[in-house]
Amino acid sequence: MAIPKPLCECRICREARYKGVPYERTGPSVYLQDANLLIDTPAEIVSQLNRTGIERVDRITFTHLDPDHIEGFRVVEQITLDFRTWKAYPEKQIQLVLPRRLYDRLGDIRSVYGPLVDYYETQGFVKCVPFETQITMGDVRMTALPVFRQEPTAYILVFEKGGKKVVYAPCDIKPFPLEEAEVRNPDLLIIQPGIFEEGLKHDFTYPDDHISRTTIYTFDQTMELADRIGAKEILFIHLEECWNKSHDDYMAIAKEHARVRFAFDGMTIRV
């Protein structure tokens, strides 16, 4: 959910409306400059790209196909289209780099005219580059590890370059593939913080059988997970409005934990 949530008058949303970024938050996306790679395209991706001053997108990948990560897929058209010909400017074509199983389901994202990806490929906006487990982009290696519930539902992405490792696990990460060597000892773990159980909006408490408990951990469990894989630093993203925490509240939590930071829109990090 975006913060402010449209029409919401809660403390968090009022403050975000009044103060803007970093109190305001839009959908989950990261840009990896080393590969000119955009990871996920939430609804607000066009304005996110503009305000962060990103100059090139050579590649896009998705962690999974849930709406909050793909609603802005049409950004490929926004970036590449020459409106005089309805074709892409050739030099702007984007590689759609996807784990094979996500690629196989991509056609399910449709408009009234059919699968979006078919149109995007025909017009030259994208070129699909499916891969099995691992792909190299320049000097960056990306490994996609599936999160298995009944079937692979989301992917955890591991980036390696020059002896550094970043694990990117923004959403629906349970059960986390703890046993995989690829996730061990990252220099940076970028992960959703999991469920905060106290101080929630409307004094809500998560029942034991709440659906979110099947897809994400609690905050304490996530911290434990970070310890178990030996993460040197932790960056929390995908922060929800219902957790009833402002940017200041997250900064206060970060102060209590040496290796922890909370992301905000437009944040830049170097590993």
Closest CB to Zn ion among residues 25, 261: 25
Closest CB to Zn ion among residues 202, 270: 202
| Of positions 45, 158, 171, 239, contacts Zn ion by CB under 5 A | 171
**Binding string to Zn ion for residues 5 to 34, with x set by CB under 5 A, is what?**
x--x-x--x---------------------
Closest CB to Zn ion among residues 24, 68: 68
Closest CB to Zn ion among residues 14, 100: 14
Closest CB to Zn ion among residues 160, 172: 172
Site for Zn ion in 107-126 (CB under 5 A): none
Beta carbon of residue 21, minimum distance to Zn ion (angstroms, whole number): 16
- Is the peptide bond between 170 and the residue preceding it cis, with omega within 30 degrees of 0? no
Torsions phi, psi for 52 (to 5 deg): -90, -5
Establish if 2 lies at the interface with Zn ion (CB under 5 A): no
Query: Applying CB under 5 A, which part among 4-12, 85-93, 106-114, 202-210 lies near Zn ion?
Result: 4-12
Cα gap 216→32, rounded to integer Å: 24
Query: Applying CB under 5 A, which part among 94-102, 136-144, 170-178, 242-250 lies near Zn ion?
Result: 170-178
Beta carbon of residue 18, minimum distance to Zn ion (angstroms, whole number): 13
Cα gap 33→19, rounded to integer Å: 28
Cα gap 108→126, rounded to integer Å: 17
Site for Zn ion in 57-96 (CB under 5 A): 68
SS (H, E, C) 31-96: EEHHHCEEECCCCCHHHHHHHHCCCCCCEEECCCCCHHHHCCCCHHHHHHEECCCCEECHHHCEEE
Strand, helix or coil at 215?
helix
Beta carbon of residue 5, minimum distance to Zn ion (angstroms, whole number): 5
Establish if 240 lies at the interface with Zn ion (CB under 5 A): no
Closest CB to Zn ion among residues 13, 239: 13
Q: How many residues bind Zn ion (CB under 5 A)?
A: 6
Query: Applying CB under 5 A, which part among 104-112, 161-169, 171-179, 204-212 lies near Zn ion?
Result: 171-179
The answer to whether 176 and 149 are in contact (CB under 8 A) is no
Torsions phi, psi for 67 (to 5 deg): -55, -40
Closest by alpha carbon to 119, among 83, 77, 60? Answer: 77
Closest by alpha carbon to 179, among 150, 153, 142, 148? Answer: 148
By CB under 5 A, name the binding residues for Zn ion: 5, 8, 10, 13, 68, 171
